[in-house]
Amino acid sequence: MSRPVVAITRPKDRAKKACDIVEKLGGSAVLAPTLDLKPVNTSSLRELVERKDELDWIIFTSPTTIVSLNKFYPDFIKTLDCKLAVIGNKTGKLAEKNGLGVDLMPNDFTAEGLIEEFKRRGITGKTIGIPRTASARPVLPKELEKLGNKIILAEAYKSLFPMDEKAVEDLISKIENKEIDAITFTSPLTVENFFEIVEDKEKIAKLLSDNLLTVCIGPITARVLEKYDIDYIYPDTYTVPDMMELLFNTWREENE
């Protein structure tokens, strides 16, 4: 059986693990980031740091948040004295590596999953810090406020259009030439930015449905693929290793 060629569209600084998994599972990885992440020191992040002692909870939704805080405020995490909620294993592991204990991590690695856990535990009347990207969906702070909590929202990093557009254009060419077997998307923006660069959106969307195995990390990203009428699959657990495992199992079943 030939080695499947798998396109990785996640940010470059997060892509190594995904590429390593592809190689380990017997495939070849093609890296074409459709999203770049840049830590930023904003006034809202400074305000969050200054109001650290007011916090009952802080929520880390991605590893990049921790990277940004460590870059600009290296003492912040070391001196945190509040409860911590995270979304996703990778974020939780990085938090623990930085000496923090994780008090809450939902089984469903989405904002909605975290909201349900806060509801289930009856967490209300608390001051909650949420450092993240400004382009993140508003559902998390909005719903936590509805529960009667006070939210301190801070921009810790920017989600940027891909800096290396040529890599994405090369990927599009490979898709048209049937040189790619599968493609992965790990966030809504990885899909949106990809199609910003695509000229013939209908043609590429059809190729992603008919010629490729399109795999995304979970239901939030899947909603964007649905906008383009693309057939997709995603794993029960919304992690990169589970996504890749599903991809290879499905590809092998279809190519036996």
Residue 14, pLDDT score: 84
Instruction: Please state, as a whole number, how many other Cβ atoms lie within 10 Å of the Cβ of residue 79.
Output: 9
Q: Residue 256: which pLDDT band, with cuts at 50, 70 and 90? A: confident
**Which CATH number is 5-34+162-254 given?**
3.40.50.10090
Overall fold of domain 38-160: Rossmann fold (3.40.50)
Q: Which two tokens stand for residue 173?
A: 């060419």
Pairing between β-strand 182-185 and β-strand 5-8 as defined by DSSP bridges: parallel
Largest CA distance in the chain: 59
Domain residue spans in the chain?
5-34+162-254, 38-160
* Dist CA 184 CA 192 (whole Å): 13
Q: Residue 2: which pLDDT band, with cuts at 50, 70 and 90? A: confident
In contact, 66 and 41? CB cutoff 8 Å: no
Question: Which strands, in side-by-side order, build the sheet including 5-8?
Answer: 28-31, 5-8, 182-185, 213-216
pLDDT tens per residue, range 59-75: 999 999 999 999 999 99
Instruction: Tell me the average pLDDT across 133-143.
Output: 94
Name the strand (E) or helix (H) holding 184: strand 182-185
Bridge-partner residues for 151, per DSSP?
128
* Dist CA 169 CA 191 (whole Å): 14
What percentage of the chain has pLDDT greater than the value 70? Answer: 100
Q: Is the pLDDT of residue 1 over 70?
A: no
Q: Shortest CA distance to 32 belongs to which of 202, 165, 134?
A: 165
Residue 163, pLDDT score: 87
DSSP states along 99-161? TPPP-B--SS-SHHHHHHHHHHTT--S-EEEEEEETTS-THHHHHHHHTT-EEEEEEEEEEE-
pLDDT tens per residue, range 9-45: 999 888 888 999 999 999 999 999 999 999 999 999 9
Instruction: Say whether 38-160 and 5-34+162-254 share the same fold.
Output: yes
Q: Shortest CA distance to 157 belongs to which of 176, 133, 177?
A: 133
Q: Is the pLDDT of residue 102 over 90?
A: yes
- Helix (H, G, I), strand (E, B), or coil: what is residue 6? strand
* Dist CA 146 CA 115 (whole Å): 10
* Dist CA 223 CA 29 (whole Å): 25
